[in-house]
Each structure stands twice: as C-alpha cells, then as structure tokens.
Amino acid sequence: MNTRIKNINLKQPLVMVMLFALLGVLNSCYSFTGSSLTDEKTVQINEFPNNASLVNPALSQQFSTDIQNRFLQRTTLKGTKENPDILIEGEITDYTIGATTISSNTTTNPSGGVIQQAQNKLTITVKVHYENKIHPDSSFDRTYSDEAAFNSNLSQSDIEASQVKIVTERIINKIFNDIVANW
C-alpha cells in the first residue's frame, strides 16, 4: 500500500506538467478573451458629438472617454491618430427623459388615500461607424440604444450621476461585444 501512495505522488507532477502543456496549446489556438481582433494592432476612436435635441453637456466627453478606455484597457489595441487598423466614430443622436409608467409600489397617505410613484425613463441612442481596414467585411454602421427607468423624484444631477452612467455602460458593452467578440 505504501508503494501505491508513492506512485501516485510521483505521477502527480507529471499530470500537472501535461495539464499546463495542454493549456499552453489551447491558448495558442484559442483566445480565452473571445476576441476576434487578432491581426489588428491600432485603433482610433474619435469623439462622439452630442447631436440630440436635448443636450446633456457632459455626455459627449463622458461617452467618448468611456468607450476609448474600454477598448484600450480590455484589448491589446494601441491608440493612434494616424492610419489606424480600426476606426470607431459616431454621434449621440437621442437623449430623452420622459414619463413611462406608474409603478405598482403604493403607499397610504395620512388621509387614507393611495399614492403611486411615477417613474421616468432615460433613453440614449448612439450611431456608430466601425471601419476595420484589416478585415473590411467586418466593418459596419449601426445604431445602439438603451434605457433605464428611475424614480421621478430623482433630481437632474442624480440622473446624470447614476442613470446616464448605467445606460452608456450598456451601450458601450453592446458596441464592444459587436466589434471585439464579433457576436
């Protein structure tokens, strides 16, 4: 029985070495990040101007910075202003805040009446032009939109601090997935 335990202990390092070798082979054949950008090295992401009828003055700069950071931090692409392999540009075409529904949350006021809370909805729409000079067939022009419902009691500054960030993050996720993951 003692010999059996020694044999297992001697085989364990061999199994570990084989496992790491297998992972190395798999990693060379497949990207675990799921990126389809294998030949592309550089990216240029231009500012996204806010051309919506309702203008949030900070939205253009915030969105442009956030999308640049996403691509530069989560890919191996390097930012450039000259002859990029990938060009991403576009515009913010819609920024609306409007009433949506009355929620089912109810409270009773002191006189015994029922109060229902109203909700508003923030919608942001962005048009994107994606140009891939290495693989032109993957280039596209698309429109992305997302929304968030929130309590109507939120102030304009609260909306811009929280809800805008949520919606732009979702839109950037969609853009990033369409370009990098090619889903």
| Tens-digit pLDDT profile for residues 133-181 | 999 999 999 999 999 998 888 887 888 778 999 999 999 999 999 999 8
Global pTM value: 0.73
Q: What is the structure's pLDDT at 175?
A: 98
Cβ atoms within 10 Å, residue 18: 10
Q: What is the structure's pLDDT at 99?
A: 85
| pLDDT at 26 exceeding the cut of 60 | no
Strands (E), 62-162: 78-79, 86-108, 114-132, 140-151
| Tens-digit pLDDT profile for residues 104-134 | 555 555 666 555 668 889 999 999 999 999 9
Average pLDDT over residues 42-49: 98
Domain 36-181: state its class. Answer: alpha beta
- The structural domains of the chain, with segments of one domain joined by +, span 1-30, 36-181
Q: Of 36 and 94, which is predicted with more confidence?
A: 94
The pLDDT mean for the chain works out to 83
Q: Of 102 and 171, which is predicted with more confidence?
A: 171
Q: What is the structure's pLDDT at 28?
A: 46
Average pLDDT over residues 57-79: 96
Name beta bridge partners: 141: 129
d(CA 103, CA 154): 15
